[in-house]
Amino acid sequence: MAAALVGGALLSASLQVLFDRLASQKVIDFFKGRKLSSELLEDLKITMISVEAVLDDAEEKQITRRPVRKWLDELKDTFYEADDLLDEIAYAALSSEMEAGPQISVSGVSKFFSSQGPLEKIESKLVKILAKLQHLVKQKSALGLKEGIGEKLSSLKVQTSSVMDESEVYGRQKDKEDIIQLLLSDDANCNNLGLIPIVGMGGIGKTTLAQSVYNDSRVKERYNFKAWIYVSEEFDVLKVTRNILDGISSTMHNFNTLDQFQVALKNQLTDKKFLLVLDDVWNDNYDHWDILLKPLKAGAKGSKIIITTRLQSVASVMNVVQTHRLKELSDEECWLLFSKHAFDGRSFGAYPTLEKIGREIVRKCNGLPLAAKSLGGLLRSKEKPEEWERVLENDIWNLPKDNIIPALRLSYHFLPSPLKQCFAYCAIFFKGYRFKKEELVLLWMGEGFLGQAGLKEREVIGEKYFDDLVSRSFFNPSIGVFQSGFIMHDLINDLARSVAGEFCFRLDDDDDSCEIPPRTRHLSVPEKSLPPNKSDAITGAPLLRTVLLLRAYRNIEAKVIYDILPKLERLRVLSLFRYRSISKLHDLMGNLKHLRHLNLSYTSIEILPESLCCLYNLEILLLVGCDKLVELPLNLGNLANLCILDVEGTHLQKMPPHMGKLSKLQKLSHFMIGKESGTSIQELGNLRQLRGRLVIGNLQNVMDVGEALRANIKGKIHLKELELVWEGDVDDSVHARHLLEQLEPHENVETLTIRGYGGTRFPGWIDGGSPLLSVVTLMLDGCRHCCQLPPLGQLMHLKKLSIIDFSGIVSIGAEFYGRCTSMKKPFQCLEVLMFQKMPQWQEWVMCENEEEVFHLLQELYIINCPAFKQSLPRRLPSLIKLEIRKSPLIERIEQLGCCGLLNILEKVTIHQCDFLKCFPLESSNLKHLCIDNCPNFETIDGNCISLISLKIKECPNLVSFSEVGLETPNLQRLELEDCSNLKWLPESMHSLLYSLEELIIRNCPKLESFPEGGLPLKLRWLEIVGCTELINGRNQWNLYCLLSLLYFVIGGYRHVECFPEESLLPPTLTSLEIRDFPNLKSLEYKGIQHLTSLQSLTVDGCPELRLLPEEGLPSSLTSLSVWDLQNLESATNSKIQQLSNLKDLLVSNCPKLKSVPEEGLPFTLISFEIYNFADLEPLNSKGLQSLTSLDQLIIGSCPKLQSLPEEGLPSSLSFLNITGCSLLKERCEREKGEDWPKISHISEIYID
């Protein structure tokens, strides 16, 4: 039983699109109705079938034969032409349908196919396309292309074995130990047989790691049998079974059937502990694995199988112990591997030039061991720098044939044709670009890669394709600071560019080329600005289907985009995401008849042209975060194919009329109700396919309750989230209640929000009955006239409940819970409960069976409920987080103890609770405690082993801590702020708080000293600001011995003239900030010179400081910032030019500096920022010209700065930002300003 892995040709997917278009009834009817030759369509179909027969063979032969690659490119270009023409025909048919209805006058849009001329052109174009295809078909034989499957890439593969050279393993020690621990553990899996997949992209080192584990002495001693089986892409169960049997037995077996082999294998393994390695597995068929594993389950407990695979899906079909996903090596680990092969064991110290180039080459490998090894071997006998430079400057795919290309291309080879098309499209993303799954699926959809089915079906297909590419390691999860997503490894990105060829093009930041290949269909513009020569190049690519501005939130000339777009008439996908420079679109945008996907999210768009309503093919319109957009085009309802309209974050007041005509609309973020005809809520009635999330706003505009009934909210079975919003005061509470009765959602809704409801009570459907059967999250906000809550306890699946701004609620009692029986317990699933802004609420009455309620509640918030003084419920067994703000609920913390909460809570925040005096640390689980703005709070004492962070802020009655100290041995962060009477810190901090890493003390003026014994030795961050008495005794701090201290911030003290004193700070310090020392006259050289690890120095708010230390600053410094030093006369007096590591310099509000920038700054500067120089008129040209490495220049709030230096700015600059310099703004205007020639070479310019 063999499972062959054969992927389809890339162009097969494009061809299938053409077949579908030719079979379209609209195309057929169009030809018949216009009396065009239908024989042309038939001839085209026959010719395409002839081409299809050799595509697989051509796909393989193009790798080594350039003429075949050229033939495929010609073919692909012709497919694009044919697709565009057939799409024009479909558009013409659709246009005729639309214009058969009410006539719509749209200025500026040419009428498509309004005369016989264009019809004749269609026939002529089709004849030309057919002739090109027939010409290409005739070349098949000359190129040696054959019908059927072509050559197999697997012929390029070398079979692996368990034999290895351990000296070639770098950076995998932890991976090896992790897997060995799994092998040595018998209880890692309850079954006898445990499977451990090692998953990763090609060339990542899966086989090498498996070999290293397999040959470890600890593993050898553990097992009765071991065998290494090379599987590869052809998964034959009989062959693999035979190889396993041969591997563990010295006897030759001449069996013929699978049954014979499996019986023999089972007998051999019964009650024996064995280890198998199945290397290079590609099969994820559950049935095949089930058959293979049956005899292996006879082994003894602890038997293991290691599987190396590129496919995550292989692991998902089996019961695995643990999947081990292999990550890239570090650059240093890659360098060790590279240098071993490049220098052949010689010391690379003798080749400093080659080492420098070699390290740059290693960075290209991006952590891929195979690439490091192959490139090292390629350079093994080469000692000339120019030969190494050639490898550095070349794309890996253009280097002589080696192992990297086959290893990566093999994964691509076995992709099905539609996935090849989707992957090749990703060449449009620049390296390191983080994309989201939803984003890419919508792009694929706009390009037509997901077929012509409904939106939901195409989304499912797209998500499956995406997951498959993740499983095959083409996409890797990536977690960022602000968002998470997926990225492609740099070499996978190169692979995408290789297979996409000239049809995909990126205007890379570091690419000086401005010529876009004429056949380019997909174009991306990177994060930086477009210089004029590159923006002009776009107009030279009229065949573009895709234009993506990737994160283009910096300055690109708006007029460039405005003028270019209408000329790109074949566009299908246009994304101006975060392009803030543009505020309007050209009226001729309506000519983009092929457009499917338009993303204007987070732009400054103020109005959309009415011509947009002629884009009858448009399916996706994204306007998220367009905060200046207040209305949509009147005839938006004409977009018959629109499926997604997202207006989240806009300021729309009403929807355009007749939105009900958008019968294909499935995702609509907001529907804003208007008062005019055609803008009422009943337009929603025809939108039967809506799903996902829907916000219905301006419900106060609904005068006729019958319109709400006709909206048929209950009939929208695919909605998962619903938000109902009234704006302003509602005068008629009865009308509001009747209206809400008609807005009953379907029982499939999982999240429900009601805001601004003006009724005095809620309708019957909010009672836990079937309408809210599935609700998991419920928010009721701003329902100020309601006097009691509905029986929300009856919502059986409710997990999160928020009650906000109910000014009429005085008591919460039995009505809140509903019926309570042994079979139906109130709030049986609730995990999060919030009460906020309830000024009259006084009483919370529990139901009779209190122990049956809230038993799963984990988080409780009581915020701004000033009248509520009652105790909390007595039984909250699962509560881990409690937050109380602006509430007198806690007069004595013992109330929490009575409820048993102190022993289970993990995080407590108490804010503005006037009666809180003491908080005893008696909990065994508390990890985070914050007490803020509690004027009568006096002390905190006791011991708490679990506490990790403690913050006390604005507690004026806090004078000291317990006499025995604060016994919190695991405390890592202690923050004390605005405690005006605090005199003493906890005693014995060095011994009781030995885990403390961060200590922040701000504005505690009476604090006198650190406790006896000093501070904990693990301290990494220390901040002392506004603590007069404490800073006065700084010479007693004994910080010099804190060798873990890296960050030190000090400030807010008037009586310091010289700082820091000698031996005050430890030599390990990497960052020092000195703030608000109004009388500081000098920085003490003796106190700074020993800070040999210092990388960042900030001096801020020291108006008397005239000079930096003449003896100089530490040479390790990479960043220097000086703020508000009104008397600073010079920075370069301190031998600043000798700071050979200085990269960043910031100077702000230093009016006495004689010149800016000063001469003598280090040439290593990469970033220079100048702010708040009220009298600065010229920039010092000599000071600037010496900065030959400067990449970024920022000038802010220099109102008298009149011009830039005549000599211009450094040629190295790539980023210029000028704000608050009114006299400069006009002079730097693009193409027109007098200073524009001085800055035109800079790729990224922002002037405001």
Please indicate, yes or no, if residue 1112 is contained in any of the structural domains. no
Instruction: Write phi, then psi, for 1043 (nearest 5 degrees).
Output: -75, -5
- Judged on CB neighbours under 10 Å (0-12, 13-18, 19+), 267 is exposed
For residue 104, is pLDDT > 50? no
- Judged on CB neighbours under 10 Å (0-12, 13-18, 19+), 126 is buried
**Per-residue pLDDT tens for 384-403?**
888 888 888 776 655 555 55
CA 768, CA 791: separation in Å to the nearest integer?
7
Instruction: Write phi, then psi, for 354 (nearest 5 degrees).
Output: -65, -35
Task: For the chain, state the CA radius of gyration.
Answer: 36
User: In the prediction, which pLDDT does 111 show?
Assistant: 43
Please indicate, yes or no, if residue 892 is contained in any of the structural domains. no
Tell me, what DSSP letter sits at residue 309? E
Please indicate, yes or no, if residue 761 is contained in any of the structural domains. yes
Closest CA to 714 of 736, 696, 688: 688
CA 630, CA 983: separation in Å to the nearest integer?
56
**Per-residue pLDDT tens for 456-469?**
999 999 999 999 99
Contact yes or no for 863/883 (Cβ under 8 A): yes
Outline where 772-866 has alpha helix (H): 814-817
138 and 93, same structural domain? Answer: yes
Helix axes 10-22, 417-425, angle to 10 degrees: 110
Region 862-877: mean pLDDT is 86
347 and 316, same structural domain? Answer: no
224 and 347, same structural domain? Answer: no
- Judged on CB neighbours under 10 Å (0-12, 13-18, 19+), 154 is middle
**Count of other CB atoms within 10 angstroms of residue 581:** 20
**Count of other CB atoms within 10 angstroms of residue 871:** 12
Report the CATH number that the domain containing residue 485 is assigned in CATH. Answer: 1.10.10.10
CA 386, CA 380: separation in Å to the nearest integer?
14
List the structure tokens of 23: 């079979």
Please indicate, yes or no, if residue 1143 is contained in any of the structural domains. no
Please indicate, yes or no, if residue 951 is contained in any of the structural domains. no
61 and 143, same structural domain? Answer: yes
Evaluate the omega torsion of the peptide bond into residue 1157 and state whether it is cis, within 30 degrees of 0.
yes
321 and 183, same structural domain? Answer: yes
121 and 57, same structural domain? Answer: yes
For residue 5, is pLDDT > 70? no
**Count of other CB atoms within 10 angstroms of residue 915:** 14
Beta-carbon contacts of 189 under 8 Å, excluding residues fewer than 6 positions away, are 319, 321
**Per-residue pLDDT tens for 191-223?**
678 899 999 888 889 999 999 999 988 888 888
Contact yes or no for 695/669 (Cβ under 8 A): yes
Q: Which SS3 state, helix, strand or coil, does residue 800 take?
A: strand
822 and 752, same structural domain? Answer: no
Contact yes or no for 742/705 (Cβ under 8 A): yes
CA 585, CA 660: separation in Å to the nearest integer?
26
**Per-residue pLDDT tens for 415-453?**
899 999 999 999 999 888 889 999 999 999 999 999 888
Report the CATH number that the domain containing residue 245 is assigned in CATH. Answer: 3.40.50.300
Last residue of a domain, one of 307, 325, 343: 325
Amino acid in the structure at residue 128 = K
CA 525, CA 577: separation in Å to the nearest integer?
11
User: In the prediction, which pLDDT does 804 show?
Assistant: 97
Give residue 46's domain range: 2-151
**Per-residue pLDDT tens for 1208-1226?**
888 888 888 999 998 888 8
- Cα 689 to its chain centre, rounded Å, is 29
Please indicate, yes or no, if residue 896 is contained in any of the structural domains. no
244 and 353, same structural domain? Answer: no
Say what the pTM is. Answer: 0.82
Whats the size of the chain, residue-wise? Answer: 1248
117 and 37, same structural domain? Answer: yes
Given CA atoms 79, 80, 83, 88 in this order, what sign does their dihedral have? negative
For residue 1228, is pLDDT > 70? yes
Region 872-889: mean pLDDT is 87
First to last CA, the chain: 70
3-state SS, 1091-1148, equals: CCCCCEEEEECCCCCCECCCCCCCCCCCEEEEECCCCCCECHHHCHHHCCCCCEEEEE
810 and 831, same structural domain? Answer: yes
What is the bridge-based pairing of β-strands 1071-1075 and 1047-1051?
Answer: parallel
Beta-carbon contacts of 738 under 8 Å, excluding residues fewer than 6 positions away, are 705
Last residue of a domain, one of 744, 764, 786: 786
CA 48, CA 799: separation in Å to the nearest integer?
57
Contact yes or no for 583/560 (Cβ under 8 A): no
Please indicate, yes or no, if residue 300 is contained in any of the structural domains. yes
CA 657, CA 680: separation in Å to the nearest integer?
8
Beta-carbon contacts of 201 under 8 Å, excluding residues fewer than 6 positions away, are 310, 368, 408, 411, 473, 474, 476, 489, 492
**Per-residue pLDDT tens for 736-758?**
999 999 999 999 999 999 999 99
Beta-carbon contacts of 154 under 8 Å, excluding residues fewer than 6 positions away, are 232, 233, 234, 410
Q: DSSP labels for 1183-1238?
A: HHHT-TT--EEEEES-TT-----TT-S-TT--EEEEES-HHHHHHT-TTTSTTHHH
Residue 1231 vs residue 358, higher pLDDT:
358
Q: Name the domain count of the chain.
A: 7
Instruction: Identify the residue whose tokens are 């895709």.
Output: 546
pLDDT grade for 895, boundaries at 50, 70 and 90: low
pLDDT grade for 1013, boundaries at 50, 70 and 90: confident
Amino acid in the structure at residue 436 = K
What is the bridge-based pairing of β-strands 949-953 and 973-977?
Answer: parallel
pLDDT grade for 1246, boundaries at 50, 70 and 90: confident
User: In the prediction, which pLDDT does 118 show?
Assistant: 58
Residue 941 vs residue 1234, higher pLDDT:
1234
List the structure tokens of 858: 């984990």
Closest CA to 803 of 837, 752, 841, 756: 837
CA 7, CA 414: separation in Å to the nearest integer?
4
Residue 188 vs residue 149, higher pLDDT:
149
Q: DSSP labels for 519-575?
A: T--EEEE-SSPPPHHHHHHHHT-TT-SEEEETT--S---HHHHHHHGGG-TT-SEEE
Beta-carbon contacts of 922 under 8 Å, excluding residues fewer than 6 positions away, are 897, 902, 903, 942, 944
CA 59, CA 138: separation in Å to the nearest integer?
18
CA 406-410-412 angle, 5° bins: 125
- Judged on CB neighbours under 10 Å (0-12, 13-18, 19+), 1108 is buried
494 and 425, same structural domain? Answer: yes
CA 605, CA 524: separation in Å to the nearest integer?
21
135 and 108, same structural domain? Answer: yes
List, as own/partner pairs, every contact residues 473-477 make where C-beta atoms lie below 8 angstroms and the sequence separation is at least 24, other chains included: 473/199, 473/200, 473/201, 473/202, 473/204, 473/310, 473/311, 473/312, 473/411, 474/201, 474/411, 474/423, 474/426, 476/201
Last residue of a domain, one of 281, 304, 325: 325
Q: Which SS3 state, helix, strand or coil, does residue 1001 take?
A: strand
Least confident of 587-591, 598-602, 954-958: 587-591
**Per-residue pLDDT tens for 1037-1054?**
888 889 999 999 999 988
Contact yes or no for 844/789 (Cβ under 8 A): no
Instruction: Write phi, then psi, for 353 (nearest 5 degrees).
Output: -65, -45
For residue 475, is pLDDT > 50? yes
Please indicate, yes or no, if residue 306 is contained in any of the structural domains. yes
- Percentage of the residues of the chain whose pLDDT score is greater than 70: 90
Evaluate the omega torsion of the peptide bond into residue 1060 and state whether it is cis, within 30 degrees of 0.
yes
CA 210, CA 215: separation in Å to the nearest integer?
9
Residue 396 vs residue 500, higher pLDDT:
500
User: In the prediction, which pLDDT does 858 show?
Assistant: 96
Least confident of 321-335, 347-361, 637-651, 729-743: 347-361
List the structure tokens of 63: 């790798």
Q: DSSP labels for 1064-1078?
A: SS-TT--EEEEE--T
